[in-house]
Chains A and B, each alone.
Chain A
Amino acid sequence: MSNPVESLYNIRLLDELAEKKSIIHNVHPLMKVLTTGAYLLVTVSFNKYQLSNMLPLVFYPVIVMSLADIPAIPIFKRVLPALPLITGIGLFNLLYDKSPVLVLPWITIPGGWVSFLSILIKGFLTILAALILIATTGMTKIALALRIMRIPGVFIIQLLLTYRYIAVLLEEAGRIVRAYSLRSAGEKGIKFRDWGPLTGHLLIRSIERAQRVYRSMCCRGFAGEYHTGREKGINTGDILYFAGWSISFLIIRYFNIPAMIGWLMMGVRR
């Protein structure tokens, strides 16, 4: 098991980043959710061989992260755990798609390699966009945006509580692992035969803890809805933010910008 305390720190870092003040943090949550949605749609809509077309999509995370003052390395690190899964999915393309897409005098690049790379980039960018949304908005405000979008309250509360209980689960896991390692006579990790009891124990403890948290919420009038306080209205700047990005995504989607730049440069050369 990777260090649960470190994971807890990681999850809290996103919450802390969401509390920062910046031009991006100030944008209305609904517009940020819609922009992220548009970005995800455009990213996954590219054909598996349109590798060069999707490259300009990289500008969205880069620009948003720099404007929001979000550190790149911790965010990239959070994308890494998903990469093995994405790689696993993409690997089959290497095996089954052997049609040549690029034939050079010294090498022939099969379609599988291009589509594999395309899946990797798509996966990386979509996860990155979701993390940036959480890091610049915060889960509570994302819930507010979902409420404005008329998503049923029960789903929103599920999302919020799941997010909160990840921290509860990690805290309990951290305590169990610490107690285990102190009595495991210097052995690294957790023995296979101990996994069952420890997992069961973790489940029971985190359920109990979650119940206590829920009780304390109920004692303060919680009735199934999170209230985020003063809700900022949507202004022209927010709409422009969404519109600006959406138009950019559409341009990226329908025009092969890297190729156009290439042609332009070649033209200049000639």
Chain B
Amino acid sequence: MSHHIIQADNLKYKYPDGRQALNGVTFRITHGESVGIVGANGAGKSTLLMHLAGVLFPDEGEIRIGEVPLTRKTLPLIRQRVGMVFQDPDDQLFMTTVYDDVAFGPRNYKLPEEEVEKRVISSLDTVGILHLKDRPPYKLSGGEKRAAAIATVLAMNPDILVMDEPTSSLDPKSRRRLITLLQGFTHTKIIATHDLDMVFELCERTIVLKDGRVITDGPTEKILCDAELMEECGLELPLGLLGCPVCNAKKTI
């Protein structure tokens, strides 16, 4: 399964306004791993994800998905393998029905309509919103929209799922449902988020970014429990690890 491997080598990227968003990011993610990318606002998380999906190209350095380097030429191939779920599901849902939105990707790859239908039904079923397939996306709730956005990506049968803040603006129940859903996926998952508790539950590995650099990369338990490191990177311990707000009893792992 070497095509599930993601290798980023010394990625550097500067926005047109001169802000250096990535400043030498290097990592390697292997098949089936769930990796949380955390960092303060402006650390470079979203920029990094956009590089992984081929939306932005690095000024220096290289990304390889499996054996294939990510270039403009290899983009169609890479985009079939890497599915990106955007932070705002409204950016991802633009057709008149949920069905058409989920079918948008497979149809772009000119799959036969029978196959498109099979994929759409299966993706919607996986995320639990098959009953909403004929609804206009703008009439869905926040959680339903997020599920639909994930289904649009699942319908492409990607090997790797890249998600930008998947739990943002979700109510607690929708968030829990999403986490349970993601736990069931066998894809390689890369999740950029501020929701450290979700990272704790979902990702066995965490990469911490600060000012466009990888500060640390290792097991989630070790990293997220390091209060000093979290403080240094503009973060804090996951809420689940903080003391009880009533009796102030400290939690231990």
Interface on A for B, CB 8 Å cutoff? 12, 15-16, 18-19, 138, 140, 164, 171, 209, 212-213, 215-223, 225, 227-230
Contact = CB atoms under 8 A, between A and B. Distances in A.
Interface string B56-84: 00000000000000000000100110011
A143 B94 CA distance: 16
User: Which 5 A-B pairs give the minimum distances between C-beta atoms?
Assistant: A220-B105, A221-B108, A227-B107, A212-B91, A230-B113
Nearest to B112: A230
Contacts of B88: 212
Given A220-B108, A220-B156, A223-B108, A12 B136 contact: yes
Contacts of A19: 96-97, 134, 136
Contacts of B140: none
29 contacts: A15-B136, A19-B96, A19-B97, A19-B134, A19-B136, A138-B96, A140-B96, A171-B90, A212-B86, A216-B84, A216-B91, A216-B94, A217-B94, A217-B104, A219-B79, A219-B83, A220-B79, A220-B105, A220-B108, A220-B156, A221-B76, A221-B80, A221-B105, A221-B108, A221-B109, A227-B107, A227-B108, A228-B107, A229-B103
- The A interface, classified by DSSP as helix, strand, loop or mixed, is helix
Contacts, number: 71
A87 to B, nearest CB: 33
Nearest to B88: A212
Select the residue from A18, A19, A220, A227 with max chain B CB neighbours within 10 A.
Answer: A220
A220 B104 contact: yes
B157 to A, nearest CB: 12
B96 A209 contact: no
Contact of B110 (A16, A216, A227): A227
Interface string B106-124: 0111100100100000000
Interface string B127-149: 00000001010100000000000
Contact of A219 (B55, B103, B110): B55
Contacts of B47: none
A15 B80 CA distance: 29
B72 to A, nearest CB: 11
Given A220-B79, A220-B108, A223-B108, A15 B96 contact: yes
Nearest to A15: B96
Contact of A216 (B92, B109, B134): B92
Contact of B96 (A18, A217, A219): A18
Select the residue from A16, A19, A217, A227 with max chain B CB neighbours within 10 A.
Answer: A227
B100 interface: yes
A209 B156 contact: no
B142 to A, nearest CB: 15
A5 to B, nearest CB: 12
B53 interface: yes
A213 B107 contact: no
A217 B149 CA distance: 12
A220 B92 CA distance: 10
Nearest to A221: B108
Contacts of B50: 215
Interface string B191-220: 000000000000000000000000000000
A140 B100 CA distance: 11
A98 to B, nearest CB: 50
Select the residue from B91, B103, B152, B153 with max chain A CB neighbours within 10 A.
Answer: B91
A41 B95 CA distance: 31
A213 B109 contact: no
A229 B116 contact: yes
Contacts of A216: 84, 86, 91-92, 94
A229 B113 contact: yes
A204 B186 CA distance: 39
B84 to A, nearest CB: 5
